[in-house]
């Protein structure tokens, strides 16, 4: 670990020097890139400097304990050394955590897709509940949620709904929500009062910039159609909704949120870039994922990650064995405790893998 910390310190000094050079200052892209690296390295270097100072203090106290003839001074140094050693151990753990590689997508906005799965109309209603849960969480977090595309059932449910969430660390916060969400409750249409089990799938994709995904315009097919409102009514008499087919991969995206065809086209392209980026990442990590499936990080849409049991007011996240009995609050968007526990579990797993 300490060899790695010395490398980080050396790189930090190098980047600091580069940021003062006129050739770098005049190259805005390069300056921005180095500034970001500098800000990421700063907390590691500062913590390492504090660690080295504390390590020196411990060494000095140990020398007093080992060599002093003054019993009172030796006892005082012994007491201070125990306290300093405990701090040193905590600082070492902090450094280990800081050295864990960060997901470069964590700070990005995200696009979420929710699809009703098994369960018919009840699954569609559950998909709508999940949509409201995430948009309420976004509102509580001070983020912006933007509905992009939907296919509703006319009874308040969604066969499919696609929306963007934009805000600080949006993808890093919500990325563990990908997977199959299962609900157990009595549907409104159930006359006998029996509990039914339904499911919906959630996908969370980082929203990426043009430069991160190379798209050949010749691979794109654009179609337009009239946007529809909830309940099936037409909200536009002209074809403002846009559907894009990426012929090479077969990926299809659509957007009908805006009244402007140009705006819908721009949003649909963002969705396409995110899906192509996800596909690229999945291909790169396919071999690793086949060998070692992380309980938190896989994000596989086929994984049943969570159960919402309404009769018991219970939510269980199966990946980390977390059970909470405040489902009514969670479904209203109070996801903070769930996300915190998932983040802690992921950090612990990555720390163990890095050792």
- Residue 276 located in a structural domain: yes
pLDDT of residue 210: 63
- Residue 105 located in a structural domain: no
Indicate if 90 and 119 belong to the same structural domain: no
- Residue 218 located in a structural domain: yes
Domains in the chain, number: 2
Taking a C-beta distance cutoff of 8 angstroms, is the pair 244, 252 a contact? yes
Tokens for 171, please give them: 């993808």
- Residue 104 located in a structural domain: no
Find the domain containing 88 and state its range.
2-98
Per-residue model confidence as pLDDT tens digits over 249-303: 899 999 987 788 888 998 999 889 888 888 887 776 564 444 334 434 443 445 6
Of the three residues 43, 67, 98, the one that is the final residue of a domain is 98
Indicate if 127 and 227 belong to the same structural domain: yes
Tokens for 42, please give them: 């700063």
Count other C-beta atoms under 10 Å from residue 345's C-beta: 20
Indicate if 77 and 126 belong to the same structural domain: no
* Helix, strand, coil share (%) of the chain residues, nearest 5: 50, 20, 30
Of 145, 159, 146, give the one whose Cα is nearest residue 255. 146
Of the three residues 98, 133, 158, the one that is the final residue of a domain is 98
Q: With 0.75 as the threshold, say if the pTM is over it.
A: no
Domain of 83: which CATH number? 1.20.58
Burial class (CB in 10 A: 0-12, 13-18, 19+), 310: middle
Indicate if 299 and 150 belong to the same structural domain: yes
Indicate if 52 and 83 belong to the same structural domain: yes
- Residue 168 located in a structural domain: yes
List, run by run, the mean pLDDT of 10-residue segments along the chain (355 residues): 86 92 91 89 91 90 86 87 90 84 85 89 94 97 93 88 94 94 85 86 85 82 77 57 91 86 89 87 58 41 82 95 96 95 86 66
pLDDT of residue 286: 60
Indicate if 197 and 315 belong to the same structural domain: yes
Angle, CA 199 vertex, CA 288 and CA 204 arms, to 5°:
45
């Amino acid at each position: 670990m300490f060899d790695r910390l010395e490398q980080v310190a050396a790189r930090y000094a190098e980047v600091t020097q580069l940021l003062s050079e006129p050739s770098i200052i005049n190259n805005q892209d390069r300056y921005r890139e180095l500034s970001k690296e500098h800000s990421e390295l700063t907390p590691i270097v500062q913590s390492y400097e504090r660690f080295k100072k504390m390590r020196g203090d411990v060494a000095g106290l140990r020398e007093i304990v080992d060599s002093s003839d003054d019993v009172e001074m030796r006892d005082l140094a012994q007491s201070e050394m125990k306290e300093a050693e405990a701090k040193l151990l905590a600082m070492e753990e902090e450094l280990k955590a800081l050295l864990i590689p960060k997901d470069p997508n964590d700070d990005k906005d995200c696009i979420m897709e929710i699809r009703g799965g098994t369960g018919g109309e009840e699954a569609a209603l559950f998909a709508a509940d999940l949509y409201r849960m995430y948009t309420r969480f976004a509102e509580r977090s001070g983020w912006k949620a933007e509905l992009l595309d939907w296919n509703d059932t006319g009874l308040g449910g969604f066969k499919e709904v696609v929306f963007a969430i934009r805000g600080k660390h949006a993808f890093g916060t919500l990325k563990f929500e990908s997977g199959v969400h299962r609900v157990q409750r009595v549907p409104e249409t159930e006359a006998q009062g029996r509990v039914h089990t339904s499911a919906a799938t959630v996908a969370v994709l980082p929203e990426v910039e043009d430069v991160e995904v190379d798209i050949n315009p010749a691979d794109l097919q654009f179609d337009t159609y009239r946007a529809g409102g909830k309940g099936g009514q037409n909200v536009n008499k002209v074809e403002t909704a846009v559907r894009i087919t990426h012929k090479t991969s077969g990926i299809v995206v659509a957007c009908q949120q805006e009244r402007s065809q140009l705006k819908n086209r721009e949003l649909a392209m963002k969705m396409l870039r995110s899906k192509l980026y996800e596909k690229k990442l999945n291909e790169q990590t396919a071999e690793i994922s086949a060998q070692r499936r992380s309980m938190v990080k896989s994000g596989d849409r086929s994984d049943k990650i969570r159960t919402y049991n309404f009769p018991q007011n219970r939510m269980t996240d199966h990946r980390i064995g977390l059970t909470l009995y405040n489902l009514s609050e969670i479904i209203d968007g109070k996801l903070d405790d769930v996300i915190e526990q998932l983040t802690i579990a992921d950090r612990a797993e990555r720390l163990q893998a890095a050792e």
